[in-house]
Structure 1
Protein backbone atom coordinates (compact mmCIF):
# COMPACT_ATOMS: atom_id res chain seq x y z
CA UNK A 1 0.00 0.00 0.00
CA UNK A 2 1.52 3.31 -1.04
CA UNK A 3 0.54 6.59 0.51
CA UNK A 4 0.70 9.78 -1.44
CA UNK A 5 2.20 12.80 0.26
CA UNK A 6 -0.22 15.63 1.03
CA UNK A 7 -0.30 18.42 -1.53
CA UNK A 8 2.04 21.35 -0.84
CA UNK A 9 0.47 24.37 0.76
CA UNK A 10 2.36 27.63 1.36
CA UNK A 11 2.78 28.82 4.91
CA UNK A 12 0.31 31.41 6.16
CA UNK A 13 1.27 35.09 5.59
CA UNK A 14 2.43 35.57 9.19
CA UNK A 15 5.20 33.07 8.56
CA UNK A 16 6.40 34.61 5.29
CA UNK A 17 8.73 37.00 7.07
CA UNK A 18 12.21 35.71 7.65
CA UNK A 19 12.82 34.49 11.16
CA UNK A 20 14.32 37.09 13.43
CA UNK A 21 12.84 40.05 11.48
CA UNK A 22 11.13 42.52 13.78
CA UNK A 23 7.45 43.16 13.35
CA UNK A 24 6.41 46.44 11.74
CA UNK A 25 6.28 49.33 14.16
CA UNK A 26 2.93 50.93 14.81
CA UNK A 27 2.53 54.51 13.56
CA UNK A 28 3.31 57.23 16.08
CA UNK A 29 0.26 59.47 15.74
CA UNK A 30 1.48 62.34 17.92
CA UNK A 31 4.73 62.50 15.95
CA UNK A 32 2.88 62.60 12.63
CA UNK A 33 0.66 65.46 13.81
CA UNK A 34 3.52 67.45 15.37
CA UNK A 35 5.75 66.94 12.31
CA UNK A 36 3.03 68.15 9.93
CA UNK A 37 2.31 71.23 12.05
CA UNK A 38 6.03 72.05 12.30
CA UNK A 39 6.52 71.56 8.54
CA UNK A 40 3.67 74.02 7.88
CA UNK A 41 5.25 76.52 10.27
CA UNK A 42 8.61 75.95 8.56
CA UNK A 43 6.91 76.71 5.23
CA UNK A 44 5.59 80.00 6.62
CA UNK A 45 9.05 80.88 7.97
CA UNK A 46 10.56 79.99 4.60
CA UNK A 47 8.11 82.28 2.81
CA UNK A 48 8.99 85.26 4.98
CA UNK A 49 12.76 84.63 4.87
CA UNK A 50 12.55 84.32 1.10
CA UNK A 51 10.50 87.52 0.94
CA UNK A 52 13.18 89.35 2.93
CA UNK A 53 15.70 88.06 0.40
CA UNK A 54 14.22 90.39 -2.19
CA UNK A 55 15.13 93.35 0.01
CA UNK A 56 18.81 92.58 -0.58
CA UNK A 57 18.43 94.36 -3.92
CA UNK A 58 18.78 97.53 -1.85
CA UNK A 59 22.44 96.61 -1.36
CA UNK A 60 22.97 98.29 -4.73
CA UNK A 61 21.72 101.67 -3.42
CA UNK A 62 25.19 103.16 -2.90
CA UNK A 63 26.20 102.11 -6.41
CA UNK A 64 26.46 104.85 -8.95
CA UNK A 65 28.90 106.73 -11.13
CA UNK A 66 31.42 107.21 -8.33
CA UNK A 67 31.10 103.83 -6.59
CA UNK A 68 31.31 100.78 -8.84
CA UNK A 69 29.53 97.69 -7.56
CA UNK A 70 29.60 94.13 -8.74
CA UNK A 71 25.93 93.80 -9.73
CA UNK A 72 26.36 90.13 -10.67
CA UNK A 73 27.48 89.34 -7.13
CA UNK A 74 24.58 91.31 -5.67
CA UNK A 75 22.18 89.47 -7.97
CA UNK A 76 23.67 86.13 -6.97
CA UNK A 77 23.25 87.04 -3.30
CA UNK A 78 19.60 87.92 -3.87
CA UNK A 79 19.08 84.66 -5.77
CA UNK A 80 20.68 82.65 -2.97
CA UNK A 81 18.70 84.44 -0.25
CA UNK A 82 15.43 83.89 -2.13
CA UNK A 83 15.89 80.32 -3.32
CA UNK A 84 18.09 78.55 -0.76
CA UNK A 85 15.45 78.66 2.01
CA UNK A 86 13.10 76.73 -0.30
CA UNK A 87 15.78 74.13 -0.98
CA UNK A 88 16.20 73.66 2.77
CA UNK A 89 12.42 73.36 3.20
CA UNK A 90 12.13 70.73 0.46
CA UNK A 91 15.06 68.75 1.89
CA UNK A 92 13.54 68.88 5.37
CA UNK A 93 10.16 67.76 4.06
CA UNK A 94 11.71 64.83 2.19
CA UNK A 95 13.73 63.71 5.22
CA UNK A 96 10.68 64.05 7.50
CA UNK A 97 8.48 62.05 5.12
CA UNK A 98 11.09 59.29 4.81
CA UNK A 99 11.36 59.10 8.60
CA UNK A 100 7.57 59.03 8.96
CA UNK A 101 7.28 56.24 6.39
CA UNK A 102 9.92 54.27 8.28
CA UNK A 103 7.91 55.04 11.44
CA UNK A 104 10.75 56.83 13.17
CA UNK A 105 10.54 60.03 15.21
CA UNK A 106 10.58 62.94 12.75
CA UNK A 107 9.42 66.06 14.59
CA UNK A 108 13.02 67.16 15.10
CA UNK A 109 13.63 67.61 11.35
CA UNK A 110 11.66 70.89 10.93
CA UNK A 111 13.10 72.13 14.21
CA UNK A 112 16.62 71.48 12.96
CA UNK A 113 15.85 72.99 9.54
CA UNK A 114 14.51 76.32 10.85
CA UNK A 115 17.96 77.73 11.80
CA UNK A 116 19.24 76.53 8.42
CA UNK A 117 16.48 78.48 6.65
CA UNK A 118 17.43 81.62 8.55
CA UNK A 119 21.16 81.00 7.99
CA UNK A 120 20.56 80.65 4.24
CA UNK A 121 19.33 84.25 4.16
CA UNK A 122 22.53 85.37 5.85
CA UNK A 123 24.58 83.47 3.28
CA UNK A 124 22.76 85.36 0.52
CA UNK A 125 23.23 88.66 2.38
CA UNK A 126 26.94 87.97 2.74
CA UNK A 127 27.25 87.29 -1.00
CA UNK A 128 25.30 90.45 -1.85
CA UNK A 129 27.39 92.55 0.54
CA UNK A 130 30.55 91.24 -1.13
CA UNK A 131 29.43 93.00 -4.32
CA UNK A 132 29.41 96.42 -2.64
CA UNK A 133 32.83 98.00 -2.05
CA UNK A 134 33.57 99.26 1.44
CA UNK A 135 35.38 102.37 2.11
Structure 2
Protein backbone atom coordinates (compact mmCIF):
# COMPACT_ATOMS: atom_id res chain seq x y z
CA UNK A 1 0.00 0.00 0.00
CA UNK A 2 1.37 3.37 -0.98
CA UNK A 3 1.04 6.09 1.62
CA UNK A 4 -0.06 9.40 0.19
CA UNK A 5 -0.50 12.78 1.78
CA UNK A 6 -3.57 14.88 1.21
CA UNK A 7 -3.20 17.58 -1.43
CA UNK A 8 -1.67 20.73 -0.01
CA UNK A 9 0.00 18.94 2.95
CA UNK A 10 3.72 18.41 3.14
CA UNK A 11 4.95 14.90 3.83
CA UNK A 12 6.50 14.09 7.20
CA UNK A 13 10.29 14.26 7.03
CA UNK A 14 11.16 11.28 9.23
CA UNK A 15 14.89 11.91 9.55
CA UNK A 16 14.23 15.50 10.64
CA UNK A 17 11.61 14.40 13.17
CA UNK A 18 13.96 11.83 14.73
CA UNK A 19 16.99 14.14 14.69
CA UNK A 20 14.99 17.02 16.19
CA UNK A 21 13.70 14.84 19.02
CA UNK A 22 17.22 13.58 19.79
CA UNK A 23 18.59 17.13 19.71
CA UNK A 24 15.77 18.36 21.97
CA UNK A 25 16.69 15.68 24.51
CA UNK A 26 20.33 16.81 24.31
CA UNK A 27 19.17 20.43 24.63
CA UNK A 28 17.26 19.53 27.80
CA UNK A 29 20.36 17.82 29.21
CA UNK A 30 22.53 20.79 28.32
CA UNK A 31 19.97 23.12 29.83
CA UNK A 32 19.94 21.16 33.08
CA UNK A 33 23.73 21.23 33.20
CA UNK A 34 23.94 24.95 32.45
CA UNK A 35 21.14 25.66 34.92
CA UNK A 36 23.01 23.73 37.61
CA UNK A 37 26.17 25.73 36.92
CA UNK A 38 24.15 28.95 36.96
CA UNK A 39 22.77 28.08 40.41
CA UNK A 40 26.31 27.33 41.56
CA UNK A 41 27.29 30.75 40.24
CA UNK A 42 24.46 32.21 42.28
CA UNK A 43 25.40 30.26 45.40
CA UNK A 44 29.19 30.52 45.35
CA UNK A 45 29.82 33.72 43.41
CA UNK A 46 30.43 35.74 46.53
CA UNK A 47 32.71 33.34 48.40
CA UNK A 48 35.75 35.57 47.97
CA UNK A 49 33.91 38.66 49.20
CA UNK A 50 35.18 40.19 52.41
CA UNK A 51 38.87 39.70 53.13
CA UNK A 52 40.27 39.53 49.60
CA UNK A 53 37.76 41.44 47.50
CA UNK A 54 34.84 43.84 47.56
CA UNK A 55 31.56 42.80 46.00
CA UNK A 56 28.55 44.48 44.51
CA UNK A 57 25.86 41.96 45.40
CA UNK A 58 23.24 43.60 43.18
CA UNK A 59 25.43 43.15 40.10
CA UNK A 60 26.29 39.58 41.09
CA UNK A 61 22.64 38.69 41.63
CA UNK A 62 21.64 40.28 38.33
CA UNK A 63 24.28 38.23 36.53
CA UNK A 64 23.27 34.99 38.20
CA UNK A 65 19.59 35.51 37.44
CA UNK A 66 20.48 36.49 33.87
CA UNK A 67 22.31 33.18 33.51
CA UNK A 68 19.49 31.11 35.04
CA UNK A 69 16.66 32.97 33.33
CA UNK A 70 18.43 33.11 29.98
CA UNK A 71 19.03 29.37 29.94
CA UNK A 72 15.41 28.62 30.86
CA UNK A 73 13.94 31.16 28.41
CA UNK A 74 16.07 30.10 25.46
CA UNK A 75 15.41 26.42 26.15
CA UNK A 76 11.66 27.02 26.28
CA UNK A 77 11.70 29.07 23.07
CA UNK A 78 13.75 26.40 21.28
CA UNK A 79 11.28 23.71 22.39
CA UNK A 80 8.25 25.71 21.24
CA UNK A 81 9.92 26.71 17.97
CA UNK A 82 10.86 23.12 17.21
CA UNK A 83 7.35 21.87 17.88
CA UNK A 84 5.80 24.58 15.70
CA UNK A 85 8.14 23.76 12.81
CA UNK A 86 7.50 20.03 13.18
CA UNK A 87 3.74 20.57 13.15
CA UNK A 88 4.11 22.71 10.03
CA UNK A 89 6.32 19.92 8.62
CA UNK A 90 9.29 22.17 8.05
CA UNK A 91 12.93 21.36 8.70
CA UNK A 92 13.38 21.85 12.47
CA UNK A 93 16.62 20.14 13.53
CA UNK A 94 18.52 23.43 13.46
CA UNK A 95 16.37 25.03 16.19
CA UNK A 96 17.77 22.95 19.10
CA UNK A 97 21.30 23.51 17.80
CA UNK A 98 20.82 27.28 17.72
CA UNK A 99 19.07 27.03 21.10
CA UNK A 100 22.07 25.29 22.65
CA UNK A 101 24.44 27.96 21.33
CA UNK A 102 22.16 30.71 22.66
CA UNK A 103 21.86 28.95 26.04
CA UNK A 104 25.64 28.85 26.33
CA UNK A 105 25.77 32.53 25.35
CA UNK A 106 23.13 33.44 27.95
CA UNK A 107 25.08 31.58 30.63
CA UNK A 108 28.33 33.24 29.58
CA UNK A 109 26.76 36.72 29.60
CA UNK A 110 25.25 36.11 33.04
CA UNK A 111 28.54 34.76 34.39
CA UNK A 112 30.39 37.79 32.99
CA UNK A 113 27.95 40.18 34.62
CA UNK A 114 28.19 38.30 37.90
CA UNK A 115 31.98 38.19 37.92
CA UNK A 116 32.15 41.92 37.19
CA UNK A 117 30.59 42.48 40.61
CA UNK A 118 33.69 41.04 42.36
CA UNK A 119 36.63 43.46 42.59
CA UNK A 120 39.89 42.35 44.24
CA UNK A 121 41.25 44.57 46.98
CA UNK A 122 44.53 46.01 45.77
CA UNK A 123 47.01 45.92 48.49
TM-score, with normalisation over the residues of structure 2? Answer: 0.83
Which structure's CA Rg is the greater one? Answer: 1
Give the root-mean-square deviation of aligned CA atoms: 1.7
SS of residue in 2 equivalent to 1:103: coil
How many residues in Structure 1 have an aligned counterpart in Structure 2?
114
Structure 1, residues 23-49: CA drift from partner, whole Å, max 9, x if none? 211111221111111101100000000
Q: Which has the higher strand share?
A: 2
Alignment of 1:91-110 (within 5 A): 91-110=77-96
- Provide the residue aligned with 1:39 in structure 2: 24
- Counterpart secondary structure, 2:109: helix
> What SS does the aligned partner of 1:133 have?
strand
1:29 aligns with 2:14: yes
The structure-2 alpha-carbon separation of the partners of 1:118 and 1:66, relative to structure 1 and needing over 3 Å to count, comes to: closer
CA distance in 2, matches of 1:105, 1:66: 52
Corresponding residue to 1:52 among 37, 43, 50: 37
Cα deviation digits, residues 29-88 of structure 1 (max 9, x gap): 221111111101100000000101122232312211674311111111111112211111
2:62 corresponds to which residue?
76
* Distance (Å, rounded) in 2 between the aligned partners of 1:83 and 1:123: 11
CA distance in 2: counterparts of 1:109 and 1:65, whole angstroms: 46
Q: Distance in 1 between matches of 2:74 and 2:52?
A: 38
The offset of 1:111, in angstroms, is 1.1
Gaps of 5+ in 2: 1-6
Q: Which runs of 4+ in 1 moved over 6 A?
A: none
